[in-house]
Structure 1
């Protein structure tokens, strides 16, 4: 299968390497930045480059595309790609708002093209193992989950720090992963209410030195108007609940990452994977023997590419369909709406 990649920033590198691992060929790239697509195509040994994504979508040699651009273009570019007859793997989140996500979902529903949202952490070995335990009923019904990614110094700058371009801060960046993972492991129940808070007390902390940090490809452009920290309590129609907190900037003694689910027969931590249950009326912890019990970037992207390509070939359904991506954006919208209004909000 022949692939086109739209956007040639940091995440595009992961997509390109994953497609190579999965046995697909990247034959074209597009980037609106002047001259960038041609430079990347030369570096990658890719045949064709375009400054206008529409030209890539019109390329009959391209079967499927990855959308690896800033958030504000995800939905519109994906819709255009579908209209051009391409299968689409769109980076998370699939839009900045629920309205944008619904527009993309409607386009997907009217088409016979595969549309998959890039929730790459679902594809990691540790998550796949835990989901298999849950699907087998080993932990019983899940009634509570916690998801946390508290970073002390993680604002990447550039478009990530612009609400207009990104839709928000850590909630839209890695909060979307944290909420999605917990929600997915809980069985993707329907959201009922959200009570949330956001804070913008510390800013990007560009004054801090002596620490390495991830930087966007366009870091240094523009200012910062996104939240530093968000927390939320999300309630679902089956009575289950999810507590979430995520940050770009925080006076914490260390960075913290964790996903935990709690069921009637057992519970589990995902990062790293460990299971808690009972055996002969005693409490026991189980450490699965896996190649990686934490998130492995290479493994996750490779598995994501394989699953997308299998769906394109008609061998399976999309692992993260547009309908799930849209429901996730509904939750994120509710987080921001609740925080802005200082009260719990209900799903409409």
Structure 2
């Protein structure tokens, strides 16, 4: 009798291309190579220093002269995009149209219109599209999500979202709305808006009220400046109040404050960073004055969203309508925050 190999062993690794390997792109590449059945076949990166660093981890990868070369490569199964925001939509569309699955950094598009175009390309090509909404994949937020879904803290009537970054981005394109699509809301707030909407089954948002500031002065135009502080109040169709506050360069007394707190009629829950860290999170459940800690660090979550994407592509996942619609819904709320 001839022994046969398990299906998993017969399956070839995903052959991936990477557009942009700055520190985020490089981190995602390294995690994919370590934790998913993937190979790095090609890299496009205009900054030589970044490309050289990436090749240390992806020794067999070939540097391509342009993203277009990558799109034309029929041997690639997927493309990972970690470039400035203005490039995300068009690069994702071209990659999808060329028959590749796509894993893209957020935002998928600078506007809901751009996000819709990418989703349309995913549907037309029947290729799986994912966005690096990384906090969904932390053990701490998974615990909060499961707590909400179980009904253990009851019906959620209020959500408080906070993301203060004492430093702000170090790349100048973040401060140009034509290239970034927005300031701290687009950079930081989008993560927390996604967490809130996802946990609440993406309810219809009936009201959005925004107060956006640049260096302490209320913004009336984005032509010269993007916001570095935002306070946003949203109300859902079920009268759930969702409050968002986010900033760059704020005097927060620590490197970062990152929180998503949910209040239900049977209790509360919170996803919180630890000691100002950008990487360490806890999950807490509240009952009156009592606090129960559900999850504590460490948790190697960086890059986990990419691994989930790769596993789905390996399993044959094509266009996924539910997640694609979520990308559009979140982008639409971001547009409303900016008054677009």
TM-score normalised by the chain length of structure 1: 0.82
Equivalence map 1:8-19=2 (5 Å): 8-19=21-32
* 8 Å CA contact 2:210, 2:233 repeated in 1: yes
Query: How far, CA to CA, are the matches of 1:288 and 1:196 in structure 2?
Result: 33
Shift of 1:187: 2.3
Equivalent position of 2:290 in the other structure: 284
**Paired residues of 1:148 and 1:244 also in contact (CA < 8 A):** yes
Any idea what the Cα deviations from partners look like across 1:298-344, whole Å, max 9, x if unmatched? 4241x312311222133778698222111111111111118xxxxxx
After TM superposition, give the deviation of residue 152 of structure 1 in Å. Answer: 3.1
The 1:319/1:40 distance shift into structure 2, 3 A limit, reads farther
Say whether residues 1:154 and 2:154 are aligned partners.
Answer: no
Q: Give the secondary-structure state (helix, strand or coil) at the position aligned to 2:18.
A: strand
Corresponding residue of 2:270: 269
1:227 alignment partner in structure 2: 227
Q: CA deviation at 1:234?
A: 1.2
Range moving further from structure 2, 321-330 or 33-42: 33-42
Deviation at residue 95 of structure 1 after TM alignment: 0.7
Question: How do 1:19-168 and structure 2 match up within 5 A?
Answer: 19-20=32-33, 21-31=35-45, 33=46, 35=48, 39-40=52-53, 42-44=55-57, 45-168=59-182
SS of the aligned residue for 2:269 comes to strand
* CA distance in structure 1 between the partners assigned to 2:94 and 2:283 by the alignment: 39
The 8 Å contact of residues 89 and 115 in structure 1, kept in 2 or not, is answered as: yes
CA RMSD, 1 decimal: 2.5
Off by >6 Å, runs of 4+ in structure 1: none
Q: Tell me, in whole angstroms, the C-alpha distance in 1 between the residues paired with 2:174 and 2:295.
A: 37
d(CA) in 2 for partners of 1:315, 1:146: 38
Say if 1:46 and 1:233 are closer, same or farther in 2 by CA, change over 3 A.
farther
Per-residue deviation, 1:35:
4.8
Q: Which runs of 5+ in 1 are unaligned?
A: 204-223, 339-348
Displacement, 1:117? 1.2
Within the candidate set 324, 331, 334, 1:332 is matched to 334
Deviation at 1:123, TM superposition (A): 0.6
